[in-house]
Every structure is written in structure tokens, then in C-alpha cells.
Structure 1
Amino acid sequence: MISDDLDLRQLTADLKRMLGPGEPVGYLRGKSLMRDVLVSMKGFSELEAEELIDTLEIRGFLRFLGDPTERSVADAHWDISPHS
């Protein structure tokens, strides 16, 4: 369960800083990479991190720039914006 005290803007900024340039790429690979970063760098469980990534995507902090249903654009990048 995600704490109401968690600052999603700050978490997004931290996530963006922790990822390398040009990362993440691909819809599922990108979500997995972001989840793994939250687990290893922030100490969240895998379930908590997965829920956080979904929440950040729903609230507009994370946006996939391609279409995960179309193979030709499934390897697009993610936009990570702490200012949403």
C-alpha cells in the first residue's frame, strides 16, 4: 500500500536522476527497470514498486512515448516528468 505521505513528485525526480541517459526504453522493459530501481535504491518491495510505477503512470508523472500494442513503436522511450 502506498503511503499518503509519499511525495510522488520527489520520487519521480529521484527515479529520473537514478536512471541512465536515454533510459528507460520499451514499455515492459522500461516498467521493469523503473520497478527494479525503486526496489534496489529506495528499498520498496517489488509489489510496492510495481504499484508506485502504475500510480506514477496514471497520474502523469511517467508517460510512455510509443504504443505498446504496436511492435514498430514498442521500443520507444518513457518521459519522466516530476512536474506533472
Structure 2
Amino acid sequence: MTDTDIVTRHHQLVLPDTNSCVDDPEATTIAFQDRCSQDCSEHPALATSRVAASYVLNAHDPTPLVSCMFVPPFVDGR
């Protein structure tokens, strides 16, 4: 099994968002917004996200993922 990084492009704590990725050419990086532009999940939202859970499960067993759906931001970044 290889490492799988699940990141968000709307991260407000780690900038740039690629700083949270494992430096391993065999690692897989999944950015929420690259797979679903409607998903505005930020760092706090990842812990309770059904979509994040599906990515974790999919890393262990490649079954279909949860469909792309609108997820509002957890924290207003304005």
C-alpha cells in the first residue's frame, strides 16, 4: 500500500496546499477541488466529510466513490 494524501485547495493553515503532501513519487495526492469543483471543504471539514471518508476507503478498496456534491465551506475565509 502506498501513501494517499487528501488535501483541499481551500486550506487556510498550510500554504501552499502542496506543503501538506508526502514527498514520495509513489504517493497519491487527492485534492477535493480537482475531483469536484463544487466541494469547498476546508481543513476542518475534512474530519467529518463523507467524501473524504470515501477517498480513504477507496485507497484500501477501489470501489466507486461518493458522487460529486456541493459542500459549503466550514469557515468563512473572507
TM-score normalized with structure 2 length: 0.29
Which structure has greater helix proportion? Answer: 1
Q: Which has the higher contact order (CA 8 A, sep 6+)?
A: 1
